[in-house]
Amino acid sequence: MGPGHGFFLCFASNEAKLGRMEAWDVSPSSIAEAKQALSRLGVTREISIVEQDVLAAPARHDEFDAAVISEVLEHLERPDLALQSLCAALKPGGRIFINAPINSPAPDHIYLWRSPEEFSEFVKAQGFEIDEAYDLPQTGVKLDRALKLNLSVSCIVIGRKPG
């Protein structure tokens, strides 16, 4: 979801184990930029990049083995619905990589989490089990100091759809 500059797609395209790859973005200009970046990076593998709002996507059930959503949830009015949609679209046991900032107010950040625990609980509430979680301060300070000062922290969750 939200392929942005296309780097995740580029790296994923080199993975022989991956079958069909599909990316969604709500922005036609972002899609064009991702396609251009993939071309410049020499990616020849077929990747379907679709103009699709994750909040308005048709229901997909048990279709995907994995999903990646990075730096997208904070831009959505209903990030809960986005993760619920992705959970439904994953096969039982399917994995998801989620990256979102906490303590990161910005004009285009509609949703704001305040702690790694709040974010992890949010992910669990949408139906995922958490296998791994990483909290990386974006300011070069240690995590405890970043949290004490309410500095921005990148929260990474690797989760799984139960089953």
DSSP structure string for 81-101: HHHHHHHHHEEEEEEEEEEEE
Segment 79-107, tens digit of pLDDT: 999 999 999 999 999 999 999 999 999 99
Confidence of residue 11 (pLDDT cuts 50, 70, 90): confident
Q: Does 14 score more than 90 pLDDT?
A: no
Instruction: Give the phi and the psi of residue 154 in degrees, each rounded to 5.
Output: -85, 120
Tell me if the pTM is above 0.85. Answer: yes
Asked if residues 97 and 68 have their Cβ atoms less than 8 Å apart, the reply is yes
Q: What number is the average pLDDT over the span 52-58?
A: 83
Tell me which of 15, 32, 52 is where a domain ends.
52
Q: Are residues 16 and 82 in the same domain?
A: no
Q: Are residues 91 and 146 in the same domain?
A: yes
Q: Are residues 73 and 100 in the same domain?
A: yes
**H or E segment at 32?**
helix 28-40
Residue 119 corresponds to which tokens in the numbers above? 């974010």
Asked if residues 98 and 119 have their Cβ atoms less than 8 Å apart, the reply is no
CATH number at residue 143: 3.40.50.150
Q: Are residues 59 and 126 in the same domain?
A: yes
Quick one: pLDDT at residue 138?
85
- Domain region containing 134: 55-163
* Unique residue bearing structure tokens 């949609």: 85
Residue 120 corresponds to which tokens in the numbers above? 């992890």
Q: What is the mean pLDDT of the chain?
A: 92
Q: Are residues 4 and 61 in the same domain?
A: no
